[in-house]
Every structure is written in C-alpha cells, then in structure tokens.
Homo-oligomer: A and B are copies of this chain.
C-alpha cells in the first residue's frame, strides 16, 4: 500500500484493543446521543467539556461547583444539571462555560481512545469538517463506535460508514478492515433515506419508549457545523476546520 494510511472501524469498545495503536488518530461516534450533544454544545459556544467515566467522578465535580451533564440509560442522574439530549446544551446554559459530562457509552469510549495519538468527536453534525480534519492528519484512522453496552449499534455504524466513504474518497487512504467494508455497505443501503432506515435501530426504540426521541432527526442532520471537538489533556476543546470543497 506504499505510504497510504489505513482506516479501520471498531464496532464496539469491547474490542478496541484489537485496533488501538499509539500512532493512530481515533474518531469516537455515539450518534444517539453523546457525540451529537457534544458537537451541539460547541456550536452553542461551550468553552470546554470534561468527559468523565463514572458517576462518582461526575458527583465530585458537581461538589466543586461545576455544571454537570450526566445520564445513564437515557435518564438524567438526579444530581446533574441536565442530561444527554443535544437540546439540553442551549446557548443560554453553556456559552463560555466548562461542562462536566458523563454518559452510558460515549464518554467511556472517549477516555479509552485517549491512549492513541489524538481523539476527535464525530457526529453527522460535523461530518465533513471531521473527515477533513482526519484526512489532514495523514495518519492511520480508527473510528470507534460507542455502541450500546458493548453491543454493535446501527446508528453509530452507519455514521462510521459515512466517514469511511469520505476518507476513502482521498486516495492516500485504504482499508483492509472487514468492519469498515461492512459499515460502508450499510451506509450505502441507508443513506438515501437515513431517517427511515434508523427506525430499525434498537436505540431508536429505546428512545421512543422513554419519550426521548425528539432528537433523532436533529442528530442525523449533516454538516451543521465545522467545529471538531478534540480531546487533549483530559478536556474537549473545539477547533474549527475549514471544510474542503471536494
């Protein structure tokens, strides 16, 4: 493959160790809802976000006076200021502030990925900016799907396919990864009517059951922002990527 860089897709954090290497960059996706919510927070001017894995860590930050967004299984934890819906991260609440954030799947995936060279947060909301950022890094790329409690999730895998498609559009990348190929093919099936396709996803049903499905359409909106949240020194900061025209 000469000097080409590879792109791989990891469908669940449970097997991230099969993919992880220190020179790669990692794109973490948790479409419904953590990484979409993070992108939305930066769109609304949040200063930075501290992702934490455990409820205990979130509580400790809360006791120090931080604004805390925390949920488990879709529900806001009682001590938290708000939960995991992108619509919670309004400009009025978040502009210029630091938020501590803990979710069922997404924030753990971000922490796990931090053993690699650099970690970015991906959503449909920043699809093109994110892909351009990754291409410009010119390193091996791992897309880490947060999934659902270590299970494969359709909505994350479809976004992984969309990102893979964009990145393989640049000829200095290749894949020999079966899960990247599967993600690409699933994206090809779904992309012509993404919202209909996502009706099949288990997380879609979970959100409906819990009355939390108002965010589905928003979380599948493409390219509303050119901000790419980057995880560095235990915090997420937003950088603005100039979007390519190709």
Contact = CB atoms under 8 A, between A and B. Distances in A.
Contact of A202 (B11, B18, B154, B176): B176
Interface size class of A (residues with CB under 8 A): 20 to 34
B181 A200 contact: yes
B151 A179 contact: yes
Contacts of A201: 178, 181
Contact of A152 (B148, B176, B179): B179
A149 B19 CA distance: 11
Contacts of A35: none
A182 B14 contact: no
A189 B185 contact: yes
A12 interface: yes
A157 interface: yes
Interface in A161-208: 176-179, 181-182, 185-186, 188-189, 200-203, 205
Nearest to A158: B182
A153 interface: yes
A54 interface: no
A182 B202 contact: no
A30 to B, nearest CB: 14
Contact of A178 (B150, B152, B176): B152
Interface in A81-105: none
Contacts of A200: 178, 181
A15 interface: yes
Contact of A153 (B12, B151, B178): B178
Contacts of A182: 152, 154, 157, 182, 186
Given A14-B15, A15-B14, A186-B186, A181 B205 contact: no
6 nearest A-B residue pairs (beta carbon):
A152-B179, A154-B178, A14-B15, A14-B14, A15-B150, A178-B202
Interface of A: 11-12, 14-15, 18, 148-154, 157, 176-179, 181-182, 185-186, 188-189, 200-203, 205
